[in-house]
Amino acid sequence: MAPVPSSTIPSGWYPDPSGAPQWRVWNGQTWSGVTRPFATRPSDVTPYDSSVGTLLVSLRRLRRFGVVSLFGGLGLLLSALAHWPGTHDATSATWARVTLAIGLGLMTFGTTGFVVVVRTLQGYWSVDACIPGLNILSVAVLCAQRLGVRRIGPPVGIEFAMLVFVCATFHQSPFAAVLLAAITRSFILRIGYVIDHVVDTVGARP
């Protein structure tokens, strides 16, 4: 699709510039992936809210990259500490430091995604958004609230207990890695449900 100067078109629904028989959202800067078929009249289409587009972008980034980065980084961090020089199953100091640095980097990247999603789901900045660990719980609670249900997946308390168990036994049991993968999958599914709900609410398709 050809670029259009952002100053010439306000945000809203317009005929798809690619020629496809559908409406597409112009967010004020670029053509988004949000569309509706031409069978729906413009007057029947829910007015485009730029905050919805921002929410969808942050949720999709968290689902695709943030969740795996955070929990994968946690796994690397725990692995580095479990095999740190001087421990029972020690690895080389260089390898331990590199693994630790990568793990911390991934966790920082993933935590940033959780911070942004808490902010966009609430619509304002709060203390819980900026505290690592607490923002994970906040995302779980806010996702459930967005769907109008008490919870999605395992209760938050159980997931927290699973994380504590993983951190305490990662150096002893391979089962801890399985639990960490299960928690990761649970969050990916949870965020996917919210994305589908938001898309259905505005009557749009990504």
pLDDT of 51-90, one tens digit each? 777 888 899 999 999 999 999 999 999 999 988 988 888 8
- Percent of residues, the chain, with pLDDT higher than 70: 82
Q: Domain range for residue 156?
A: 50-201
Looking at the structure, do residues 164 and 71 belong to the same domain, yes or no? Answer: yes
Q: What share of the chain is helix, strand, coil (3-state, %, to 5)?
A: 60, 10, 30
Looking at the structure, do residues 26 and 127 belong to the same domain, yes or no? Answer: no
Examine residue 59 and state whether it is found in any structural domain, yes or no: yes
Looking at the structure, do residues 113 and 37 belong to the same domain, yes or no? Answer: no
Q: How far apart are CA 146 and CA 67, in angstroms?
A: 19
Answer whether residue 42 shows pLDDT above 70: no
Examine residue 206 and state whether it is found in any structural domain, yes or no: no
Looking at the structure, do residues 101 and 152 belong to the same domain, yes or no? Answer: yes
Token couple for 182: 């299960």
Examine residue 188 and state whether it is found in any structural domain, yes or no: yes
CA 72 to centroid of chain Cα atoms: 14
Token couple for 13: 């629904």
Q: What is the pLDDT of residue 3?
A: 52
Looking at the structure, do residues 58 and 153 belong to the same domain, yes or no? Answer: yes
Examine residue 133 and state whether it is found in any structural domain, yes or no: yes
Positions of E strands within the chain: 12-15, 22-26, 31-37
| DSSP at 154 | S
The mean of the pLDDT values for the chain is 81
- Percent of residues, the chain, with pLDDT higher than 90: 26
Q: What is the pLDDT of residue 204?
A: 46
Q: How far apart are CA 127 and CA 108, in angstroms?
A: 17
* DSSP annotation string for 163-202: HHHHHHHTTT-THHHHHHHHHHHHHHHHHHHHHHHHHHHH
**Count of the separate structural domains present in the chain:** 2
Answer whether residue 114 shows pLDDT above 90: yes
Q: How far apart are CA 162 and CA 152, in angstroms?
A: 16
